[in-house]
Amino acid sequence: MAAETGFRGTLPSEYFQPVSWQMGKFPAYATLLVLAVAFGSTYSGPLETLVKGLALVVGALQFIGVFGLMHEAAHGHLARSGKGNRLIGEALSVIVGTSYTGYRIAHLTHHARFRTERDPQEVIYPRRPKPVTIALLAVAAVIGAPVFLLVRAPYIALRKRGVVRALRGPVAAVTLYGGLGFVLPPVQWHFLLWTILAGWVLGSMNDIVYHQGLVDEDSLQASTSFDCDIFGQAFLSGANRHAEHHLYPAVPGPRLVAVSKVLRSELQSLGVPYERGFTLAFIRRLTTNPVFLPKPRQEELTEAGK
């Protein structure tokens, strides 16, 4: 995509260097998750349902944050060596419950083969009857993340790298969370499970507005960029600047804010959609373009007008 639009080579080299403080977010995620589960599972004061719901969301965001770090590792952004990124990614994949190998293969293919038949993260490919596509998009909007992480990524690793590379992350995750089930009081264990479920749903809703409801082609117009940089840096490791991320996948997430400041006017002139936040974007896209169906390509509009 970068080569097609003429942007390659326009950024200074320091923009491509890993950011040393990135992994410092992991202890914060772990601490906040423990506190959210401990507090939410035992709270019984005023507005109990509301307070427990807020604790659930706070905990879920920590899981999304861990996933964001795994995404950075897959791009080689957390350590200066490939081995270091792989070891970190493998460790984070246990918490996420996926195969790091499968996730990395799938995600890098997503960048290289974006919005084509070979894009393993794309819902609208391969082409299917419209009712089937609507059903798949509806499912993806709610549980797309766990389906991809728990099923698709391990399956890809199984085909590409064998049983051990495919299953060591998921098996370690089952061992981890199964062990917590024996150690934690039932009320905390159940709240932890609900927190993971909330993380899957919120993560799916975030992911779908990056690309869905936009043009179904490999272009900058098919990636939404979000201005919510505090939220994006805290929990998405900068991936909220998603058009910039697809344009420069070698740039670590924390540096994408600066990239966006440099390129925003040019990207907007090329039709990149910018949104303030994920929630409003999700609601707006759902109400104006039901179930996030792709917009027709320009050639399809031209053909229809003949």
Q: What is the pLDDT of residues 268-287, one digit of tens each?
A: 999 999 999 999 999 999 99
pLDDT in the model for residue 305: 52
Report how many domains make up the chain: 1
**pLDDT at 188 > cutoff 70:** yes
Q: What is the mean pLDDT of the chain?
A: 93
> What DSSP designation does 151 have?
I
Residue 211, in any domain of the structure: yes
Return the closest-CA partner of residue 77 out of 7, 135, 21.
Answer: 21
Q: How far apart are CA 115 and CA 136, in angstroms?
A: 16
What confidence tens digit (pLDDT) does each residue in 194-247 have?
A: 999 999 999 999 999 999 999 999 999 999 999 999 999 999 999 999 999 999
Domain that holds residue 62: 15-222+278-305
pLDDT of residue 2: 45
Neighbours of 302 (CB within 10 A): 10
Q: Which of 10-19, 44-53, 86-95, 216-225 has the lowest mean pLDDT?
A: 10-19
Residue 218 lies in a domain: yes
Mean pLDDT over 82-86 rounds to 95
pLDDT at 5: 47
CA 188 to chain CA mean position, Å: 27
pLDDT at 109: 97
- With respect to residue 297, please indicate whether it lies within any of the assigned structural domains: yes
Quick one: pLDDT at residue 300? 55
In this structure, the number of other CB atoms found within 10 A of the CB of residue 144 comes to: 24
Q: Residue 268 falls within a domain, yes or no?
A: no
22-57: b (≥16 Cβ within 10 Å) or e: bbebbeebeeebeebbbbbbeeeeeeeeeebeebbe
Whether the pLDDT of residue 98 is over 80: the answer is yes
Higher pLDDT, 209 or 296: 209
Crossing angle, helix 186-211 and helix 163-183, to 10 degrees?
140
Residue 293 predicted with pLDDT over 70: yes
- The predicted pLDDT at position 290 comes to 85
Q: How far apart are CA 53 and CA 216, in angstroms?
A: 36
Q: Is the pLDDT of residue 253 over 50?
A: yes
127-172 pLDDT, tens per residue?
999 999 999 999 999 999 999 999 999 999 999 999 999 999 999 9
On whether residue 163 sits in a domain, the answer given is: yes
Assigned domain for 134 exists: yes
The answer, yes or no, to whether residue 263 has pLDDT greater than 60, is yes
In the predicted structure, residue 304 carries a pLDDT above the cut 80? no
Determine, yes or no, domain membership for 1: no
Res 301 pLDDT > 70: no
Task: Assess if residue 300 is contained within a domain.
Answer: yes
